[in-house]
Structure formats: C-alpha cells, structure tokens
Structure 1
Amino acid sequence: MIYTGNNRNLTIEPYEPCPCHLDKKFKFCCYQKAKKDTSAPMAKGFSLGRVNHLIREFYAATDFRTCFAFENNQCSGPIKNAHSLQNNRILNVICENGHLYYFKPEVVDSGPTSVIKKIGKNDASTFFGFCDFHDTELFKPIELFDYTGDIQQKFLFAFRALAVEMHKKLRQLENVKRMFAQRPRIMLDPQFVYMYRVAMSDVNDHQIEYELFKQGFQNGDYTGVRTIHRELQYGVKFAACSSFTVRYDINGKVMNDTFSTKNDRMPSIFLNIYPTPQGTTNILISYLNIDSEVYQNYFNSLDALDDQKLTKYLNYLVIENTENVFFTPSYIESLSENERKSFERSYNSSMNVLERASLLAEGNYYKFDLFNLAP
C-alpha cells in the first residue's frame, strides 16, 4: 500500500519511542543515524532473481517460534510448524498429488506482486505458533470431530484464524524494524514510516483481540464470538483461514478506515471456508461481540443473503483480503487464460489502485468464481 497523503503521523517524532528500542526516545537513539546514513538503496542493480532471493532470505530471518495457547505453563514438546488449515481433514481434501496452489509474493519488472505457484501440502498454511502439546490438545474439538455448530468449535476456528494472522503481523513488524536497522535513513521516509505505523497498529489490535480470546477461554465462556455458519451441499476447491478488517459493508459504505494511521483499533472478522470429506463446504464468519457496534448490521446483512448471493460476495472478500488461501491444482489449471489473468490481477489489485482501475476499465475485474463447482 502506498500512502500519498499529508499526515503528521508519517513522521517519527523526536520524543516518541524509537522503533529499534521502545524504551528509548527516537531523538536519543536512531535519529542521528538516520540523518547521517548515506547507504545505497537495498538491492540496487541486482537481478530480479537475486532480489527475490534476498527478500525471501530477509523475511525468513523474521520467523520466530512461540505458543499462542492460553496456558503457557502447560506447554510441552517443540514448537511445531502447525497447520492453520487442518492437514488431514482439509488440505487432504483439496490437494492433488500432494500439491496445492497459492499466491506467492514476488518482484517482477513492474514491481512487487503475487503470482500463483505450487506448494507441497505439508508446507501449506504452516506457522510456528503452537507447541506440540497445545497444537494437539487445544484444537481437539475441531481436529477430531466434524463441525456441529458447537459454540466451542466456533470459538476455536475464530481463534486459530487470529493466531495465524497475529504471527504474520508480528513478523511484518519485525521486517520493518530490520529494514530500519540496515538503512536508518528510511526512518525519515514517510512511505516507510507509514509501513511501520500500520505494522504497529496491526500488532496492537491483534494483541487486544488475543487477550479477549484468552479471557473467554480461561473462564470457559465461548459466547464472546458471534458466528455465521453456512453449509454448502457441494465441496469447493479451495480453503481459507484468516482474520482481517473489513473496510466496506455489502452496500459499499465505509465501516473501518483501514488506511488511517491514527490509533483507532481496527476490529477483525475471522473467516474459515473449507470443504469436508463428506463433499460439503463449511463457511464460518465470526467477530468478537465487543465489536458489535461496527459489525452487527454488517453480519445481519450477510446472514440475510441466500447461498448464491453470499458466495458471490465471498468470492470477492476472500481474494481481496486473504493471503492464507490454497487452491486445488485442477481448479487453477482449468481457468481460461482470461480467468487466470483476472484471478491474479484481481488479487494484486487489493494493494494497487491503478491495477484495479485498469481491470475495471477492461471489464475484467473478478471474472472468475471460486464457488462455481456445484454438480
């Protein structure tokens, strides 16, 4: 996202905490480094292959292991590369020959983008977010049993969507801090300050949500989450598990100013869509009840839609907001050239307003259907 507006909040003020050391003031920590830094831009003159390698290497260094379980004193075993989408009950259903497709970030001649690539099933949707004990015990109600509408199952599906997103946002914040450390002068650049502000806000928002889930779990109270569940009588060829803030309601009215750099909390929704071994599809869309002022009417509108209208809306919502989504190879490979271009470009247009305008002008915006597989 490129921010081009004027906003005092896009300057790191002298007496605010320094990005590299939050208990020190910027003026007395990295400000002089930033002013004196004359280093060349990162990866200047490198080939695209080397640039992509460096980006992957740089981001890989931000990975970390933690257990997001609510009772850390019970942790046991190593931190697992846990699946946010169940390996045996979901990924097995959509994979073919052990592979899936996903959107992979890459740099091309025109700049940063994402392209459709294959990935092995065992590597899909994984993150180092739970110890061996909690990855097994905490999620037993959704790992071992079919979805029944049980309130604890709704709670756990929503929480796992938060956990994978929280891990990613913590990595993104660390990524920005590492860029600041290597090129201090970019701490004076509004574009990079905006990235830092967004990353900080995202982490703070998710930490608040995490504490609410923790409180509910420890009290044995799973009622703090509202969930819409819809079962389709056919299996789709993708699966998604994510949390994100919804900017517009179904009528195009702004609910959340997601481009703001102010300190207002951006409330999340939690989305899980997956086919079942029985040939149906479960759709779960949730939010925390403390955010009813923002999302209650929006959810009422979603709940009133019939299956056809809901899936048409979700076709847009998934691609617009979700990175943690994986597709059956035969579905991707069956797309026409025009559909595949629309698929990739529509996904990238969520971060590129010029691409969106171009797709709209061509009449090629979202010219595909993730839910068109009913027999």
Structure 2
Amino acid sequence: MIVGVDNIPEFNQKIGRNALCPCGSKKKFKHCHGHHSNPPETNIYAASSKVRVMNAKGECYSPSDMHYDCTRGTINAHTVSRSGSLGAIQRDGHVYSYDLRLEAIQKNGAALTPVSTGWKTASTFPGFCGFHDKHLFMPLEDQPFIGSREQCFLIAYRSVARELHAKATSAKQTKLRLAYAGKSAIARSNIATFNKGVELGLRDSQRHKSRYDNVLTKKDWSQVKGVLVEFDNVFPIQCASGVFPEADFFGREVQRLGWGNDTPDALTFSSFAADGKSYFLLCWLLDSDASCVPFAAAISEIERDALPAVLASYILQVTENCHFAPAWYDALTDDGKLWCREQSISGHFYGNLPPPIKNCAVPFFGGINVKNIVHI
C-alpha cells in the first residue's frame, strides 16, 4: 500500500521562552538552551541521564479491558524470553547487548557496540505489571512451543508493546531534542522533521496496538499470519522488534511511508529459542497482508544455506533490541565484528547499506542451517 503524501508538514511545537528548560537545569528556557547569544554547551552525560529517566517510566501495556487485574507498578519485563532464549546463548549469566547510552553511541561514531550484560536485565522494558507479565504469556512460557497461532501472536504482542513504549518515550523527548538543537536553523529543521516522524510513528503504533489488543481479548487467532523458520542449531542473535516494512530482503519496495493520515502495515520479527530449538518468526495481522505477504514471500527466494546470514543482516540493520551469544561474538574475526558494526549504522545518512541479500556474511554463520519453514 502507498501511504500518505510526499510533502513533510511543518512541525510547530515550540518551547515557551519562560518555560523551564527541558534539559533539567531548572532555569527558564530563555536563560538556558534558548539563550539568544550564549546557550550552554550540551552535556552528553546529563542528556543521557535525562533520557534514561524518561525511558524508565512505564505502564502495563495489557489491553485496557484487563487493567482491573493489574498489580501495582510495572516490572522490567523481558521482550526476549530470559529462560528460553537468553538462557540458550548466555555465558556465565551474561549476553552481549547494545550499549544504548548517548555517550557510548557518540563515542562509537553512531555505531552500536555490544557489551556484556546480565541476562536477567537484557531485553527488558517497563511494559507490564507482574500479574499480566505472567498470566498473559502463560500459553507461551508454561507450555511446550508448538508454533501455534496463539503462541506466535504472544511473541509478536511483546514486540508490539515494546515498540509502543519506545515510541511513547521518544515522544516525551520532543522538547528536549528541540532544546539541544540550539540556534542552527538546519539543526532545528532536522529535529522538527524527526519529531514529526516520532509523532506519526507513535500514532500508528497506538493504532496497531489497539488491533492486537482486540485480537487478544477476543482470542481471535484467525487474524494471525506469519512465517516460522526453524534452525538446526542455536541462532546466535536473539531479538524482538516491530517495523513498518518498506522493502524486503532484496530491497524491493513493499510499501511507501509518508506523512498522511493512513496507517502503514506493520510487521513483527523475533529470533528466539524454545525447548532446545531455535527459531526466527515473522508475524503480522490479517489487515497488514498487503505489505507483509510479499515481504515474507521473499524468504522462499533465498537459498537456504544463506538464509541465516540474510536474517541476521536484516535484524542488525533494523533493530537495536539485539542480544548476542558471547561465545559466537568473541569468536568472530575483526572482519566479522566490523560487519556487525556496519549493520548497526544502516539507515544513517552516512551508513546506508545494500539490502540484506547483498550484504549477508554467510561464513560467520557456519554450522547453522535451516531445518524447516512453516507458514502460519
């Protein structure tokens, strides 16, 4: 489907000069980052701390009709299962996850760098209360994985909730980004465009989350579509994420995102382990068939011996919620680690890469073969 129009609408949100500066200095904006001639230099560590505080505020993303069951507060819920998935790749209780602190990203030239992370905290977000984190996912966590539509939906639901949380917290940072843009007209224009994209992304994520909530409350698994790839060995990168897909693994357009009121099709993807097996799942709802069916169909065009590497390239290019097996990552050559780094900056104006089919690195995924592909 083609979404929206080509022209970017003006984003008019401004910071009042007498309002407190979003940086947290407790000064008025006009005396801080809004100063007409001498704004303070941006302190990357203070900015990073401010962002982390914003990200830590969560809510239970269970359907609103179920909130009467909520226990007080939220917990750090795993988007990638701790015992099944992270447990399959951990070493001495740790996995490698991206360091998402602003100062680390700046230091590494916008590339994301894997660092050792305790497997109990990796992949978590404050997205569910204790009751719903346990009870919503019981058919997935407490039963053998058989690849049912219900189980695949629950894997996707975690990704949808996590993406909504990420966009909601990014939306809260709108004025902070404007403040740090300074007086540069170009910088402020770029930030305004970025903020408008965040606004639309949040709107569209809320719409899709509502659709997923409807499926969950009605248990209407007939709305669930997907492709499940089973490997014969543990896939070394575990992830959970969601996107509005624009192009498939070959770089062919499946939908065009724009700035209008239409809602783009949405797709979730996850790599995970369960019951001693390892999987990659694409999942979507029936109303996103127009883009997701051709996207998923591209899998059948990829040679099976190259598929693990192609999927890895795609994962690393489009999500930061990635968790690496330390044994696999440490065994990579310098070229292998460089390949991972290059994938992580895809999408930046200086980091555009060829599509995954042309940028996969098959030798780095030796010993991992596709055992089965099931259409859900």
- Give me the TM-score of the superposition, normalised by structure 2: 0.81
Q: Is the 8 A contact 1:356 1:365 kept in 2?
A: no
Equivalent in 31, 48, 55 of residue 56 of structure 1: 48
1:352 maps to 348
1:141 maps to 139
CA offset at residue 181 of structure 1? 5.8
Q: Is the 8 A contact 1:345 1:355 kept in 2?
A: yes
Q: Does 1:66 align with 2:59?
A: yes
For 1:243 and 1:226, the matched residues in 2 are separated by 14
Equivalent in 360, 366, 373 of residue 372 of structure 1: 366
For 1:307 and 1:368, the matched residues in 2 are separated by 11
1:28 maps to none
Equivalent in 281, 290, 305 of residue 293 of structure 1: 290
Q: Is the 8 A contact 1:240 1:274 kept in 2?
A: yes
Comparing 129-138 with 335-344, greater Cα deviation is found at 335-344
For 1:295 and 1:237, the matched residues in 2 are separated by 25
- Give me the TM-score of the superposition, normalised by structure 1: 0.81
Q: Is the 8 A contact 1:339 1:368 kept in 2?
A: no
Letter of the aligned partner of 2:367 in structure 1?
A: L
Percent identity, aligned pairs only? 18
Equivalent residue of 2:271, what SS?
Answer: strand
Q: What runs of 5+ residues in structure 1 fail to find an aligned partner? A: 1-6, 22-31
Letter of the aligned partner of 2:322 in structure 1?
A: V
Q: How does 1:188-227 map to 2 (within 5 A)?
A: 189-227=188-226
For 2:176 and 2:223, the matched residues in 1 are separated by 37
Alpha carbons of structure 1 residues 343 and 287: separation in structure 2 relative to 1, 3 Å: same
Q: Relative contact order: is structure 1 or structure 2 higher (C-alpha 8 Å, sep ≥ 6)?
A: 2
CA offset at residue 309 of structure 1? 4.3
Q: Is the 8 A contact 1:79 1:132 kept in 2?
A: yes
Letter of the aligned partner of 1:333 in structure 2?
A: D
Letter of the aligned partner of 2:115 in structure 1?
A: K
Q: How does 1:176-255 map to 2 (within 5 A)?
A: 176-180=174-178, 189-255=188-254
Q: Is the 8 A contact 1:93 1:277 kept in 2?
A: no
CA deviations over 1:275-333 (Å, ceiling 9, x no partner):
3352x212211111101122222223325656434324312211111211100111111
Give the superposed CA RMSD.
3.1
For 1:10 and 1:306, the matched residues in 2 are separated by 43
Comparing 166-175 with 300-309, greater Cα deviation is found at 300-309
Equivalent residue of 2:351, what SS?
Answer: helix
How many pairs were matched up? 342
Q: Is the 8 A contact 1:343 1:367 kept in 2?
A: no
Q: How does 1:277-356 map to 2 (within 5 A)?
A: 277-278=275-276, 280-303=277-300, 305=302, 307-348=304-345, 350-356=346-352
Equivalent residue of 2:59, what SS?
Answer: coil
CA offset at residue 134 of structure 1? 0.2
Equivalent residue of 2:252, what SS?
Answer: coil
CA deviations over 1:37-88 (Å, ceiling 9, x no partner):
52656644x6xxxx2x223202112121200111111112431111111111
Letter of the aligned partner of 2:136 in structure 1?
A: L
Comparing 214-223 with 299-308, greater Cα deviation is found at 299-308
Q: What runs of 5+ residues in structure 2 fail to find an aligned partner? A: 1-5, 17-28, 370-376
Equivalent residue of 1:332, what SS?
Answer: helix
CA offset at residue 12 of structure 1? 2.6
Alpha carbons of structure 1 residues 8 and 38: separation in structure 2 relative to 1, 3 Å: farther
Letter of the aligned partner of 1:294 in structure 2?
A: S
Alpha carbons of structure 1 residues 41 and 118: separation in structure 2 relative to 1, 3 Å: farther
CA offset at residue 182 of structure 1? 6.8
CA deviations over 1:100-134 (Å, ceiling 9, x no partner):
11222324468433222111111100000000100
Q: How does 1:44-193 map to 2 (within 5 A)?
A: 44=42, 51=44, 53-63=45-55, 64-70=57-63, 71-105=66-100, 106-108=104-106, 111-180=109-178, 189-193=188-192
Q: Is the 8 A contact 2:34 2:179 kept in 1?
A: no
Q: Is the 8 A contact 1:235 1:373 kept in 2?
A: no
Letter of the aligned partner of 1:58 in structure 2?
A: K
Q: Is the 8 A contact 2:11 2:196 kept in 1?
A: no
Alpha carbons of structure 1 residues 54 and 185: separation in structure 2 relative to 1, 3 Å: same
Alpha carbons of structure 1 residues 287 and 370: separation in structure 2 relative to 1, 3 Å: farther
For 1:181 and 1:73, the matched residues in 2 are separated by 39
Alpha carbons of structure 1 residues 272 and 183: separation in structure 2 relative to 1, 3 Å: closer
Equivalent residue of 1:213, what SS?
Answer: helix
Letter of the aligned partner of 1:66 in structure 2?
A: E
CA offset at residue 99 of structure 1? 1.1
